[in-house]
Amino acid sequence: MLEEVVAELRPDVILVLGYQMWDHLPELPVTWACVKHPCGGMSYDEAIPEFNRAIAEALSLAG
């Protein structure tokens, strides 16, 4: 089902909240960012650089 949603919406970046979720995601042609889940102690100091990295990567791929 995730594959169909990604194909339909064509996101530039997908944000994954939680490393356990990350380990179960299929390979898809999209840029991903993965951070700790907010309930698991997510830190904005750690998360924001990962968000920015994924956005910069998506922008560079877009052209």
Mean pLDDT of the chain: 92
And the tokens for 37? 């889940």
In the chain, how many domains are there? 1
Number of C-alpha atoms within 13 angstroms, CB side, residue 28? 22
Residue range 16-42, pLDDT digits in tens: 999 888 888 899 989 999 999 999 999
Residue range 37-63, pLDDT digits in tens: 999 999 999 999 999 999 999 999 887
Nearest C-alpha neighbor of 22 from the set 32, 8, 10, 9 = 32
Listed in sequence order, the residues at least 6 apart from 24 whose beta carbon sits closer than 8 Å to its beta carbon are none
Eight-state DSSP code of residue 41: T
Q: What is the pTM of this model?
A: 0.80
Number of C-alpha atoms within 13 angstroms, CB side, residue 41? 1
Eight-state DSSP code of residue 23: T
Owning domain of residue 9: 2-62
